[in-house]
Amino acid sequence: MKILLVGDVMLGRTVNEVLRQKPADYPWGDTLSLFHDCDFRLINLECVISDRGRPWDATPKVFHFRTDAKNIESLKVASIDAVSLANNHTLDYEYEAMFEMLKILKSEKIGYAGAGVNLRKASSTAVTKVGGKKIGLTSFTDNEPTWEARKDQAGVYFVPIDLKDQRAKKLFGSIKKAKEEADLLIISAHWGPNWGYASPKEHPPFARALIDAGADVIFGHSGHVFRGIEIYKGKPIIYCTGDFIDDYAVDEIEKNDQSFIFVLETVDDRIGRIKMYPTVIRDFQVRLADDGEAEEIVQKMSQLCAGLGTKTSWQGKEKRLEINFG
């Protein structure tokens, strides 16, 4: 089985304007063949899909990302199976827009986790059947604490990155139960700062605790740049997948227009290989990196992985970086 992961997909602002003129497949550039070659595709949706709502102003917020409701077609054309919604943009246009998005996703049979009408819904695990196997997705964030879903309040699944916090302990407990339903359990974590190639010091112990609780894959995002991958007890911790589609200004040092398509392959019913295809953002769409830029991106990821004790190998003919651990 092949599981595809990519980081932040932001279809709002200028990307939304482009999609009023361009076809639904435009943001995906030349990458769609990789998406269609996989069995399950998961993204972090870094905007709200809706025609409703108004910009959140209950607390100070600089950026608000919303894409037209019709742009659900952009997810469909990429065969997206599930989206992570526990992030700092799901409520950018208040509850009305979020509720519309949840209805749209449900109507199109796209799974989602991390947001809902209350804490029970926001923290629940989305399960997708793929070729006789069940893939579970639990999504949480340490961003926007004012958006925290509660027993009687809609919002996102907010969990502080603190092993002693009761909300973290509840998360670990829920993972054990979710693993009983899923053959493979992915934990999506929208966490940490926007910048920096090194993960915050509290992330590794927290990620390992998630795996100890029963997670099979840690799918990290939120940072604008990718970070290294650690293999812990034979399971991958992708600390940050970076930006995948957006209209952001590019930092000349921390190049937030660079990332990867991460394809996880199962070996004997467990993840045993990760194939990483280097990508760049150009003209509000993602593209597979050309040879020169691919070398730069791959070299950076190889260094980051090596710092975590993870060996990588470059497959020049296929233009991808690999981690084999199965």
What is the per-residue pLDDT for 64? Answer: 98
Report the largest interatomic distance among the alpha carbons of the chain, rounded to a whole angstrom.
54
Q: How far, in Å, CA of 183 to CA of 235, rounded? A: 14
What is the per-residue pLDDT for 288? Answer: 98
What is the per-residue pLDDT for 85? Answer: 98
What is the per-residue pLDDT for 59? Answer: 86
Q: Is 229 helix (H, G, I), strand (E, B) or coil?
A: strand
Residue 142, domain CATH: 3.60.21.10
Number of domains in the chain: 1
DSSP 278: E
Region of residue 284 (left: phi > 0; alpha: psi -120 to 50; beta: else): left
Full-model pTM: 0.98
Residues 6+ apart with CB under 8 A from 301: 226, 228, 229, 260, 276, 278, 312, 321
Domain boundaries, position 56? 2-324
Query: pLDDT tens track of the chain, all 326 residues?
Result: 999 999 999 999 999 999 999 999 999 999 999 999 999 999 999 999 999 999 999 888 999 999 999 999 999 999 999 999 999 999 999 999 999 999 999 999 999 999 999 999 999 999 999 999 999 999 999 999 999 999 999 999 999 999 999 999 999 999 999 999 999 999 999 999 999 999 999 999 999 999 999 999 999 999 999 999 999 999 999 999 999 999 999 999 999 999 999 999 998 889 999 999 999 999 999 999 999 999 999 999 999 999 999 999 999 999 999 999 97
Which among 46, 99, 129, 110 has a CA at the least distance from the CA of 72?
110
What is the per-residue pLDDT for 268? Answer: 81
**What is the signed CA dihedral for 146, 147, 150, 153, rounded to 10 degrees?**
110
Task: Residue count of the chain, please give it.
Answer: 326
What is the per-residue pLDDT for 128? Answer: 97
